[in-house]
């Protein structure tokens, strides 16, 4: 399965994320590479569409997936330390059977030879 993700690399890009967007094209989203493994959290400030979010560890494995409601300011956090956050259209991970433990390939900096 192919998925095209915009990269949010700078602090400003990561802070803004998908704010203000009302839709995403199928199989697209935003990837937030984090500078180090930690128990990352997200919220939906000024994001008027529902999203699915996967927290991914440094080996590219999904830690957990959450469904996010529009404009919800409550922090939603990774179950364990993560290196990436991948936001997708609501229900995307469930539709593609990508749940906890699934391998995500093509992430920047992931060495699958470990």
How many domains is the chain built from? 1
Q: Would residue 72 count as lying in a domain?
A: yes
- Using CA atoms, how far apart are residues 96 and 22, in angstroms rounded to an integer? 22
Confidence (pLDDT) at 72? 97
pLDDT of 111: 53
pTM: 0.93
**For range 71-94, the mean pLDDT:** 97
The verdict on residue 40 lying in a domain is yes
CATH number at residue 87: 2.60.120.1140
Rounded-to-integer distance, Cα 5 and Cα 16, Å: 15
Domain membership flag for residue 108: no
Q: Which pLDDT belongs to residue 1?
A: 73
**54, 104 Cβ separation under 8 angstroms:** yes
Q: 26: domain range?
A: 4-95
- pLDDT-based confidence at 113, cuts 50/70/90? very low
pLDDT digits (tens, 9 = 90+) for 38-61: 999 999 999 999 999 999 999 999
Whether residue 104 lies inside any domain: the answer is: no
b/e sequence 67-83, b meaning 16+ C-beta within 10 Å: ebeeeeeeebebeeebb
Of residues 114 and 83, the one with the higher pLDDT is 83
* In-domain check, residue 101: no
Q: Residue 114 domain-assigned?
A: no
């Amino acid at each position: 399965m192919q998925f095209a993700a915009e990269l949010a690399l700078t602090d400003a890009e990561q802070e803004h994320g998908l704010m203000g967007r009302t839709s995403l094209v199928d199989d697209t989203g935003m990837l937030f590479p984090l500078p180090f493994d930690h128990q990352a959290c997200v919220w939906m400030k000024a994001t008027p569409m529902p999203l699915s979010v996967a927290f991914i560890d440094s080996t590219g494995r999904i830690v957990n997936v959450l469904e996010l409601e529009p404009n919800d300011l409550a922090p939603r956090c990774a179950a364990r330390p993560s290196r990436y956050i991948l936001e997708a259209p609501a229900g995307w991970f469930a539709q593609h059977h990508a749940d906890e433990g699934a391998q995500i390939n093509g992430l920047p900096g992931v060495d699958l030879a470990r």
